[in-house]
Every structure is written in structure tokens, then in C-alpha cells.
């Protein structure tokens, strides 16, 4: 029942997002083209349910890589002005409506990883994350949006403080997924995006942060470092 309702909602919501994409595309495309030479869309290969690769779509928000920028902090310099707006408002995610309708991803689910990162993120304890269809939003993606984005340029801090929490949050969702969980995440996502658009910068840690942090600390005390 859950799978049927979830897929029906995905198709409905994906069609709404596609309509929004069609309406905004001329303006977004013009902004990207005036800001940076190159394609409007960024297409990459991500890993989906059961380890199946698929083509993943976003509006391009960074200058094309010419080898000039190295490392996470330098990579952030590639984001052009219009791209920053697209990222802040999450408009850059609209092309993923195509992925939702096709069934590559769901509206709610763990964020799909690049092929180069999936083994690092979802091995061992976290292998079950790959048995779930990835999605547009999740506990982890919202945590990254509100607390991780500001630390991306600080590579070591981001990797040591944000990534472990994100990974545990993806597992947390898999263990609790259901219609009520998905509904709450959809409304929370909309509320957070609106808050960011209207200037909010500081967010309190969500309740699930403390739960997964305790889980990680308990694992460390037992010498069971997550892998």
C-alpha cells in the first residue's frame, strides 16, 4: 500500500514540478547563459535503488571545470551569481522532476550519490540505504541545507562533522519511512526553503539530529566505528 501511494504521489508531484520547470525554464536558461558559457543542464550519473545507475538532471550552477579549481573550497568559487540564487531557492533541482516521473527517484528518499562516492557513503552499516529509491528531499539533505552548506568550503570540518550525521540520517529515514514520515518531510522542506528565501540563516538542530548523534556516540564507545 505504501509503495503504491508513494509512487502515485511521485507521478502527480513530478508532473507539477515539470509544469513549474516549463514555466520558469526560459528565465532560468537566460540567466545561466548570460552568467556562464556552457549547457543549461548539468547531467551526471548517480546511483539509485539497488545500485542501479541513472542520469541525474540539475540546472547548471557552476562554471565548467577547466582544471583551475582544486578542492572543495576552490570548487565553491566556480558557482556563479545566478547559480547561487538557483541553489539557495532550490530551483536548480527542478529538472529532477524528469527523474521523479521516470521513477529514478522519489519525492522523499535518501539523496542519490555520485558513482565515485557511493561506496564511501553507503558501505557496511549503511548498505540498506541503497535498497530504497533515492529522493529529492530527506532528513539528511535538509540538515545539509541548513547546517552543511556554510561549511562546505572548510573541507575537514565538513567531512568530520556534517558527513557522518548526514549518513546516519539517511539510515534513520530508511528505518522510519512511511506515509506520515514522508508527509512531514515534504512540509518541512517547503517551510525551510521559504525561510531561507526570506533571509533566515540560523536554524536549530532538528530532533532527529540528537537521536543520530547519540547513536554515533554509542557506536564509538563500543569501538564500532561506522564504515
Instruction: Tell me which residue of 82, 93, 80 sits closest to 27, measured CA to CA.
Output: 82
Residue 75 confidence (pLDDT) = 64
User: Rounded distance, CA 97 to CA 104, Å?
Assistant: 10
The pLDDT tens digits of the residues spanning 62-76 come to 998 755 545 555 567
What nine digits make up the cell of 193? 526553503
Per-residue pLDDT of the chain (227 residues; tens, 9 = 90+): 899 999 999 999 999 999 999 999 999 999 999 999 999 999 999 999 999 999 999 999 999 875 554 555 556 778 999 999 999 999 999 999 999 999 999 999 999 999 988 888 898 899 999 999 999 999 999 999 999 988 887 888 988 899 999 999 999 999 999 999 999 999 999 999 999 999 999 999 999 999 999 999 999 888 776 76
User: Rounded distance, CA 31 to CA 189, Å?
Assistant: 25
Phi, psi of 80 (to 5 degrees): -85, 170
Residue 69 confidence (pLDDT) = 46
User: Rounded distance, CA 89 to CA 31, Å?
Assistant: 14
Helix axes 81-89, 179-197, angle to 10 degrees: 140
Residue 227 confidence (pLDDT) = 60
Report whether 171 contacts 125 (CB < 8 A): yes
Instruction: Tell me which residue of 168, 167, 174, 94 sits closest to 134, measured CA to CA.
Output: 174
SS (H, E, C) the chain: CHHHHHHHHHHHHHHHHHHHHHHHHHHHHHHHHHHCCCCCEEEEEEECHHHCEEEEEEECCECCCCCCCCHHHHHHHHECHHHHHHHHHCHHHHHHHHHHHHCCCEEECCCCEECCCHHHHCCHHHHHHHHCCCEEECHHHHHHHHHHHHHCCCHHHHHHHHHHHHHHHHHHHHHHCCHHHHHHHHHHHHHHHHHHHCCCCCCCCCHHHHHHHHHHHHHHHCCCCCC
CB 98: neighbour CB atoms within 10 A? Answer: 18
Round to the nearest angstrom and report the end-to-end CA distance of the chain. Answer: 33
Q: Say whether pTM exceeds 0.85.
A: yes
User: Rounded distance, CA 198 to CA 39, Å?
Assistant: 29
Amino acid at each position: 500500500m505504501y509503495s503504491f501511494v508513494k509512487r502515485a504521489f511521485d507521478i502527480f508531484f513530478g508532473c507539477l514540478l515539470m509544469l513549474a520547470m516549463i514555466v520558469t525554464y526560459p528565465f532560468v536558461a537566460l540567466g545561466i547563459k548570460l552568467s556562464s558559457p556552457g549547457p543549461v543542464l548539468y547531467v551526471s550519473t548517480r546511483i539509485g535503488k539497488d545500485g542501479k545507475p541513472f542520469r541525474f538532471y540539475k540546472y547548471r550552477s557552476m562554471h565548467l571545470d577547466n582544471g583551475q579549481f582544486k578542492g572543495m573550497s576552490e570548487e565553491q568559487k566556480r558557482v556563479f551569481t545566478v547559480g547561487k540564487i538557483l541553489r539557495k531557492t532550490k530551483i536548480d533541482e527542478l529538472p529532477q522532476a524528469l527523474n521523479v516521473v521516470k521513477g529514478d527517484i522519489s519525492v522523499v528518499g535518501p539523496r542519490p550519490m555520485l558513482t565515485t562516492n557511493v561506496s564511501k557513503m553507503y558501505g557496511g552499516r549503511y548498505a540498506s540505504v541503497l535498497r530504497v529509491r533515492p529522493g529529492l528531499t530527506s532528513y539528511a539533505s535538509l540538515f545539509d541545507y541548513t547546517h552543511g552548506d556554510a561549511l562546505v568550503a572548510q573541507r575537514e570540518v565538513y567531512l568530520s562533522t556534517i558527513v557522518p550525521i548526514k549518513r546516519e540520517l539517511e539510515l534513520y529515514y530508511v528505518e522510519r519511512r512511511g506515509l506520515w514520515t514522508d508527509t512531514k518531510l515534504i512540509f518541512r522542506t517547503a517551510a525551510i526553503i521559504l525561510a531561507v528565501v526570506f533571509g533566515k540563516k540560523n536554524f536549530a538542530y532538528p530532533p532527529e539530529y540528537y537521536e543520530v548523534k547519540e547513536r554515533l556516540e554509542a557506536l564509538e564507545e563500543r569501538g564500532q566505528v561506522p564504515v
